[in-house]
Amino acid sequence: MAKLNHLFVCQDCGTSHSKWSGRCDDCGAWNRLVEETVRSKPGSKKIQTEAFFSPLSAIDEDILRQQKRLVSGIEEFDRVCGGGLVPGSVILVGGDPGIGKSTLLLQLVAALSAVANCAYVSGEEALSQLRLRADRLQVNKAAVHMAASTHVGHIINALEQLPNLALVIVDSIQTMAVESLESAAGTVSQVRASAQEFITSAKKKGHVVILVGHVTKEGVLAGPRVLEHMVDAVLYFEGERNYDYRILRSIKNRFGATDEIGVFSMENQGLTEVKNPSALFLANHQQEVSGTAIFAGVEGTRPLLLEIQALVAPSYLASPRRTAVGWDNNRLSMILAVLESRCGISSANRDIYLNVAGGLKINEPAADLAVAAALISALKNRPVPVGSVYFGEIGLAGEVRSVNHTEIRLKEAEKLGFSNAFFAVPRTPKKNKQTFGDASIQVHPLRYVLEMV
């Protein structure tokens, strides 16, 4: 007789509680505990009875696998994965509904089906809908195995019938359900159990599994914070509704660098790769306007030039407004304080707005110097020197700290026709001015923000 277990599972962090309460003890979220019933089948308990040791030099299976990555030829995707998909790995692709996850992954399987055996399982769309999308994306000739199902057991059985399977897309994990759980698809227990089944099959058979996960409004994968720990890589597909570009970003990757990005543009026939994103983001840049500065950034291993805009307006509020879009508000306040105390540039009685053009978000502290340049320019109402880029972290003493990837940043700026670069003096004496001396870009190493003023 199957035993029924009643559990209360937090839909935010996935912790199981034996009793209901208004607040999750683990993560502190309110009203997120949902009763889920687990039917444990008799005899389904797996007990591991053996463990093995083997010499380090003999463990070459995984290494061999990793060397044979599946390369799709969609460079923006391959790079974010660390140079292709590693056989036997499991990847979670998260993003807002409608952002283009299904589109991207259908294009991916279509591209890979030329060299490997691929399957695409949809729990969200009927086969006819998938076919219509494939027609629109002009990939309807691709030899991809398609299925529409939400039943994990059936899917895994069917996958085992496919010879030499290399990749399976599960779209989305929130629609999948395993039989042994009574709770509805999309609950934490179902998401976790379904993912576990796919992960086990990937590790056993050596194929790649890509799980699609929808993100909640708060920006977390619905329930699956637990999933992030279970999978090998987590990629986020993001973008702004009002812009055509989409960014695929690696948040976690056991087989490659994190913070790597791939840039795509959403067109009628699907996603196209953007090989030179800096040019895209600087397209509307006007040099003669005060309050703008170009930041020479690096996302992962790739340089990305972005425009930072600052606007200063007289304030009639007791505490003037400080608003940053695409940049950390606390960091904005810090830089304003440094400008006031170390450079004598006051922003009292003025509202300040800061914006990263194109709707992008910057996490690098290296943008400090560009933010400072935009703010100084706005506060003094004078444009920054023509053709300048900025990068460097600012410390509380008003010092400019060096950041990594100086060469990459300078090269990109040079390639896009910039003539001046303001940045921190590199830490190692070897990499002084001379290193960049032969470049056509004029370098201005700084020690203090004050030197820029």
Cβ nearer to ligand ADP, comparing 120 with 295: 120
Site residues (CB under 6 A) for ligand ADP, limited to 226-285: 266, 268
**Chosen from ligand ADP, Zn ion, Mg ion, none, partner binding at 268 (C-beta under 5 to 8 Å by type):** ligand ADP
Q: Is 381 helix (H, G, I), strand (E, B) or coil?
A: coil
Please identify which residue in 11, 15, 72, 102 interacts with Mg ion, judged by CB under 5 A: 102
Site residues (CB under 6 A) for ligand ADP, limited to 134-153: 136
Binding residues for Zn ion (CB under 5 A): 10, 12-13, 15, 24, 26-27, 29
**Chosen from Mg ion, ligand ADP, Zn ion, none, partner binding at 12 (C-beta under 5 to 8 Å by type):** Zn ion
Q: Kindly state the smallest distance separating residue 191's Cβ from Zn ion, in Å.
A: 14
Q: Kindly state the smallest distance separating residue 13's Cβ from Zn ion, in Å.
A: 3
Site residues (CB under 6 A) for ligand ADP, limited to 27-46: none
Q: Which stretch binds ligand ADP (CB under 6 A): 100-108, 284-292, 304-312, 320-328?
A: 100-108
Q: What distance in Å separates the CA atoms of residue 378 and residue 375, rounded to the nearest whole number?
A: 5
**Chosen from ligand ADP, Mg ion, Zn ion, none, partner binding at 100 (C-beta under 5 to 8 Å by type):** ligand ADP
For the chain, state the CA radius of gyration.
26
Q: What are phi and psi of 29, to 5 degrees?
A: -70, 145
Contact of 305 with 294, CB cutoff 8 Å: yes
Q: How many CA atoms lie within 13 A of 315 on its CB side?
A: 16
Cβ nearer to Mg ion, comparing 169 with 373: 169
Q: What distance in Å separates the CA atoms of residue 156 and residue 152, rounded to the nearest whole number?
A: 6
Single-letter code of the amino acid located at 271: L
CA distances, 266 to each of 55, 64, 94, 145, 243 (Å): 49, 36, 17, 25, 9
**Chosen from Mg ion, Zn ion, ligand ADP, none, partner binding at 48 (C-beta under 5 to 8 Å by type):** none
> Looking at residue 384, what DSSP letter applies?
P
Cβ nearer to ligand ADP, comparing 136 with 431: 136
98 binds ligand ADP (CB under 6 A): yes
Q: Kindly state the smallest distance separating residue 74's Cβ from ligand ADP, in Å.
A: 15
Residue 384 CB neighbours (<10 A): 23
C-beta contacts of 176-181 below 8 A and 24+ residues apart? 176/123, 176/150, 176/152, 177/150, 177/151, 177/152, 178/152, 178/153, 179/151, 179/152, 179/153, 180/38, 180/39, 180/40, 180/41, 180/44, 181/36, 181/37, 181/38, 181/39
* CA dihedral sign, ordered 419, 425, 428, 432: positive
Q: What is the largest CA-CA distance in the chain?
A: 79
Q: Kindly state the smallest distance separating residue 166's Cβ from Mg ion, in Å.
A: 22
Q: Kindly state the smallest distance separating residue 197's Cβ from ligand ADP, in Å.
A: 22
| DSSP string covering 344-359 | ----TTEEEEEEETTS
Q: Which stretch binds ligand ADP (CB under 6 A): 92-100, 157-165, 286-294, 317-325?
A: 92-100
Cβ nearer to Mg ion, comparing 102 with 113: 102
**Chosen from Mg ion, ligand ADP, Zn ion, none, partner binding at 136 (C-beta under 5 to 8 Å by type):** ligand ADP
Cβ nearer to ligand ADP, comparing 25 with 135: 135
Q: Kindly state the smallest distance separating residue 390's Cβ from Zn ion, in Å.
A: 42
**Chosen from Zn ion, ligand ADP, Mg ion, none, partner binding at 232 (C-beta under 5 to 8 Å by type):** none
Q: Is 133 helix (H, G, I), strand (E, B) or coil?
A: helix
* CA dihedral sign, ordered 417, 411, 75, 306: negative
**Chosen from ligand ADP, Zn ion, Mg ion, none, partner binding at 13 (C-beta under 5 to 8 Å by type):** Zn ion
Task: At 352, list the tokens.
Answer: 């300040």
Q: What distance in Å separates the CA atoms of residue 413 and residue 297, rounded to the nearest whole number?
A: 10
Please identify which residue in 11, 15, 89, 103 interacts with ligand ADP, judged by CB under 6 A: 103
Q: Kindly state the smallest distance separating residue 152's Cβ from Zn ion, in Å.
A: 24
Residues forming the site for ligand ADP (CB under 6 A): 95, 97-103, 136, 266, 268
Residues forming the site for Mg ion (CB under 5 A): 102
